[in-house]
Every structure is written in C-alpha cells, then in structure tokens.
Amino acid sequence: MTESLPLSDLPPLADVHCHLGENLARELHLAKGGSVRAVVLTAARAEEFGEIASFCAADTRPRLIPAFGVHPWYALSAPENIEALLDRMFDAVSGGALLGEIGLDFARPKEEHTAQRALFRRQLAYAARRKAAAVIHSVRSAEEVIAEVKKPRPRPVFLLHSPRASADQVRRLAELGGYFSFSAHALAPPRKRMRAAAAAVPDDRLLIESDWPSGGDSPADIADALIPLAELRGIPAGELARRVWENSRRFFAAAGVS
C-alpha cells in the first residue's frame, strides 16, 4: 500500500480533477486542514451544473473551481442547447471556470462514437470561443483526440485527465500545449501503460488529481499521487510537490482562473 505524505509538511497543492459525490462536503472538510489550496469540481452531465455552481459559490477552503461540460459517456443524452447552458454557467460564476469533463471514450459501444465525436468537437469549439481550458477524458482515443485538439482556433488550453496514451502520444499532446494529471490510484504498479505515460510528461506540464469518488482517492489524500510520480521521475516527493504547484498556478492562469 502506498505510504501517505503528511500534507502539513508539503507546499500548497491543487486537486485538478474531482467530482460530485455523496460525501463531498466531508472530503473537502478533511482536506481543509492540509496543504490543499484548490480543487477543480468537474461535471459529467448538464444536470450537475447547478449543484457544482452552488458548491463553488460557497466561501470555503480549499477553493473550489467549477468545470462545466458533458462527459462522452453521456453524449447520447447531451442537451441540444449545450452551448447556451455553458454560457449561462460561465457568465454566472466569478473567478473563472473550466470546460469539462469532455472527450472521447472508445471503450464504449461503437454506436456511441459518432455522438461522442460531434459533442467533443462542439465543446472544443466552445472552449476556443470562450477562451476556456478544456479538461479531457481519453480512452482508446488518443490519436483522435490529438487530431481534434489541433482544429479549433485559437487552440484552447487543455488538460488530459489520467490519459490512456502512449509515451509518444503524451509527448505529441504536450507539444500542442497539453497538461496531464494523475491520481495515486491510476499509478498503481499494475497500470504499466499509465505509469509510462506519466513518466513521459514534461516537468512543466505535470499535475495531480484525486478523481474522487471514482478512483477511491480523496482530495484530502492528494499528496499520495506524488509518491509514485516521484519514483517514476527519480526526484524527491517534496521537490516534485513544488514543481506541481507551480504547474497548477500556471495552468489556472492560462485558463483565466483567478
């Protein structure tokens, strides 16, 4: 089992990928006393937009940053007026928001793929128009994601969350400006492909996430992701924590989040 790092001994940290869940308030309370300074609360369906906005509007620590978007799993039921709904949410929040979770998941049945592609293109185009950073989910679709993120002008800032991609694909996505985030759960020793992807990320593009609640990691335990990442990169976890925090600040600044 991965040894935990005490948050009190670390620089500030940001969890760049967390979802709604039954015990979210408790998990955020647990994170409150440590080094976690920011948590990105990410939507999967349009029905979650209002709850996420309400959570993020509260005066809280860690700071909550909303991400609004429709996940590829829900492409078939995505609202026709998704751009109007996104405009409403982006216009209503203060301090900025991200666009996510969007993307492609070709582990899903083939009859969903056409709808996924269409929705991904619409949301990427929205990100470009809105100058919003996109949080991207990619499973068995890295080549198509690479092709799609090249198309919008201006190209939006984007983050690949726990990318299922080869080391070469990671390098190509980084050349397009991509950031990459990983959780401790995603970097467990059996996940050799994910670990190889994490090792290939440039030092200035690496971020960490909990992916709570789906991965089992908590925002309060976000530092656990630093241990496998530091081992893969051959540097002390404390040094990596400082780099990751600087990367988080740069990513948020590029995303227009203040």
* Axis crossing angle, helix 192-200 with helix 226-233, rounded to the nearest 10: 70
The answer to whether position 28 is within a domain reads yes
Give 177-180's long-range contacts (Cβ < 8 A, gap of 24+).
178/149, 178/205, 179/205, 179/206, 179/207, 179/247, 179/251, 180/205, 180/206, 180/207
The answer to whether position 123 is within a domain reads yes
The answer to whether position 5 is within a domain reads no
- Tens digit of pLDDT for each residue in 213-234? 987 789 999 999 999 999 999 9
- The parts of the chain modelled with pLDDT lower than 50 are 1-2
Alpha helices in 131-236 (DSSP H): 142-149, 167-175, 192-200, 226-233
- Tens digit of pLDDT for each residue in 197-217? 999 999 999 999 999 998 778
Residue 60's pLDDT is 72
Residue 1's pLDDT is 35
The answer to whether position 39 is within a domain reads yes
Instruction: Quote the CA–CA distance of 200 and 178 in Å, as a whole number.
Output: 13
Asked whether the beta carbons of 90 and 130 are under 8 A apart, the reply is yes
The answer to whether position 150 is within a domain reads yes
b/e map 50-89, b = 16+ CB within 10 Å: eebbebbeeeeebbbbbbbbbbbbbbeebeeebeebbeeb
The answer to whether position 1 is within a domain reads no
Residue 29's pLDDT is 87
Residue 178's pLDDT is 98
Question: What CATH number is associated with residue 210?
Answer: 3.20.20.140
How many domains, in total, are found in the chain? 1
Question: Which domain, by its residues, includes 15?
Answer: 10-254
Residue 2's pLDDT is 41
The candidate with the shortest Cα–Cα distance to 139, out of 168, 107, 175, is 107
The answer to whether position 4 is within a domain reads no
The answer to whether position 118 is within a domain reads yes
3-state helix, strand, coil in the chain (%, to 5): 50, 15, 35
